[in-house]
Amino acid sequence: MTEPKKKTPLYEKHLAHKGTMVDYSGWLLPVQFEGIIAEVRQTRQKAGIFDVSHMGEFMVEGSGAAEYLQKLVTNDIATLPDSAVRYSPVCYPHGGTVDDILIYRYNREQYLLVVNAANAAKDLAWFKENLGKDVVLADISSETAEIALQGPNSLSILSSLTNLPLDKLRYYHFIPAVELAGVKCLVSRTGYTGEDGFEIYCPAGGAPAVWEALWQAGRVRELGLTPAGLGARDILRLEAGLPLYGHELSETLTPLDAGLDRFVSFKKPVQFIGREALLQQKRAGTAKKLAGLIMLERGVIREGYAVTAGGQEIGWVSSGTYSPTFEKSLGMAYLDHELAVPGEAVEVIIRERAYPARVVKTPFYRRDKNAMGNSRGV
Amino acid sequence: MQWEIRAGYKYTRKHEWVKQDGNIVTSGITDYAQDMLKDIVYVELPAVGREVKAGESYAVIESVKAVSDCYAPVDGVVIQVNEALLDRPELLNSDPYGAGWIARFEAVAGYEYPALMTDGEYETFVRQEEAG
């Protein structure tokens, strides 16, 4: 039985902008508007606006909230100040990944968790199953919309809607209440593109007004805002070397497999779920290592393709795409350690033919904080 | 209709066009097909001289999001390929019936052409596809 597809509060906006709608984890979302390549370039050079209302949001509140989260997630949140955001994997006792999430701390007893849409139901069950004392967990996904405004012009666009000094808002920090177009929003300086930008959370009913205000503010030629879809979002995150659950992380791939060691705190004085297994894996070493690949010839690296070296299979592609920023194909792959070294020559097997590729450092793309929009990396 | 369907061409259910001149047949993808694929970034062409059977995959088109096969319109031999597509795959998006042609085939002697759609029939077919 197939459930009816869910529409975000911005569904009508996407139709009005001629978005190509697709089913993504049960949600009807635009995969693209004008074109994926154009949307990626525009977001890197100017700004892009993305509907990410499909993401799940949970509130965790109570005197036991901090203790509960410390046990649930792998990163250390004891050092997370008020109005700051932290990224963390969540693991099973066997070390495999439940999800990777963002944790927003309002205060010691109040947190917002933002989870992947595809994992929201599974996460909720897991978080409930492990619920601690004096904690209330509430799923606020359906009444919460999320808009991502990304790109070098994001600050100018958002600043035109509020008098709050957004330029002072530091990366991975947030303002709990910002009034935008008459709607009370949470605004964080976060994103999934490798660009400067903001993520804006608001009540579902207010989302169209916020979206429209951002669109009107940003559509002027100097600011160059474009609506952007899931296709551009996936490429932007891959160019920025950011993992995506279901690709680089999964129930069988641990955060250590994905090279996310700095988000697993063995030092925190809490027996977090998965600690034993992860510690054992850290001592023994991972089977493969996640590495960046670029194609040296034409052809597009795609998920699932085998990677070889001298005819021997050495790994597999976890994510791949054509990169508009580098005008060649790139991807991330799980490879044998001795070959997961920048500069190594490997081959990607595309339709039974070996195409030459090179192992490179990730992120592929790193924004130049002085001269915005310029790329370095590959 | 928002997609161009050119008169004088024949069409397949795989959204490819065929232009026949005696036993020489040129093929490409339709405007509708390129609009569905969007942003074509790479084309893998067959070797000239390759023998093909009608319906067999002879070329591969990669858009940003997807990999698609092209199917041979006849039993025959590839006699020419559009090498411009190697450097400018976007020609498939911008001019699918012209500069974006993919390959030319010589049909084997006595090859019996299957009934392909006329432009009018293809338009009806696209409307049906769109209606889901």
Task: Write the ipTM.
Answer: 0.86
Does an H or E element contain B125, and which? helix B119-131
* Number of Cβ within a 10 Å radius of residue A327: 9
Listed by start position, the domains of chain A span 6-55+143-239, 56-139
Burial (Cβ within 10 Å: 0-12, 13-18, ≥19) of residue A109: middle
Q: Which fold has domain A6-55+143-239?
A: Gyrase A; domain 2 (3.30.1360)
> What strands lie across the sheet with B16-21, from one edge to the other?
B10-11, B16-21, B24-29, B103-107, B76-81, B51-52
Q: Do A300 and B60 touch (CB under 8 A)?
A: no
Task: Fill in the amino acid letter for A320.
Answer: G
Question: Has this prediction a pTM greater than 0.90?
Answer: yes
Contact indicator for A295, A114 with CB cutoff of 8 Å: no
Q: Hey, of B41, B44, B87, which one would you mutate to test binding to chain A, going by the most A CBs within 10 A of its CB?
A: B41
- Would the CB atoms of B64 and A31 count as touching at under 8 Å? no
Q: What is the pLDDT of residue A263?
A: 98
The answer to whether the peptide bond before residue A342 is cis (omega within 30 degrees of 0) is no
At CA A107, angle to CA A118 and CA A56, rounded to 5?
10
What's the token pair of residue A93?
């006792």
Q: Is A95 left (phi over 0), alpha (psi -120 to 50) or beta?
A: left
Q: How many angstroms separate the CA of residue B38 from the nearest CA in chain A?
A: 7
- How many other CB atoms are found less than 10 A from the CB of residue A170? 9
Q: Which position has the token pair 């085939």?
A: B105
Q: Do the beta carbons of residue A361 and residue B81 sit within 8 Å?
A: no
CATH numeric code, A56-139: 3.30.70.1400
B29-83 pLDDT tens trace: 999 999 999 999 999 999 999 999 999 999 999 999 899 999 999 999 999 999 9
Q: What are the chain B neighbours of A299 within 8 Å (beta carbons)?
A: 42, 44, 62
The whole-number pLDDT of residue A377 equals 41
Q: What is the pLDDT of residue B113?
A: 83
Is A322 within 8 Å of B60 when comparing Cβ atoms?
no
Strand order in the sheet with A136-139: A84-91, A97-107, A110-115, A56-61, A136-139
pLDDT at A376 over 80: no
Q: B10-110 maps to which CATH number?
A: 2.40.50.100
Percent of chain A exceeding pLDDT 90 equals 96
Domain boundaries, chain B: 10-110
Predicted confidence (pLDDT) per residue in A264-296, tens digit: 999 999 999 999 999 999 999 999 999 999 999
Nearest to A96 by CA among A245, A287, A252, A264: A252
Q: How far apart are the first and last CA of chain A?
A: 46
Chosen for mutation from B60, B64, B68 (greatest number of chain A CBs closer than 10 Å) is B64
pLDDT in tens, A34-64: 999 999 999 999 999 999 999 999 999 999 9
The mean pLDDT of chain A is 96
Mean pLDDT of A243-248: 98
Write the pLDDT tens digit of every residue in B81-116: 999 999 999 999 999 999 999 999 999 998 888 889
Out of B39, B62, B67, closest to residue A37 by CB: B39
pLDDT tens by residue, A293-349: 999 998 999 999 999 999 999 999 999 999 999 999 999 999 999 999 999 999 999
Q: What's the average model confidence in pLDDT over A350-372?
A: 88
The tokens describing A151, both together, are: 């790109």
CA distance A116 to A228: 19
Q: Cβ contacts (< 8 Å) between B67 and chain A: which residues?
A: 300, 302
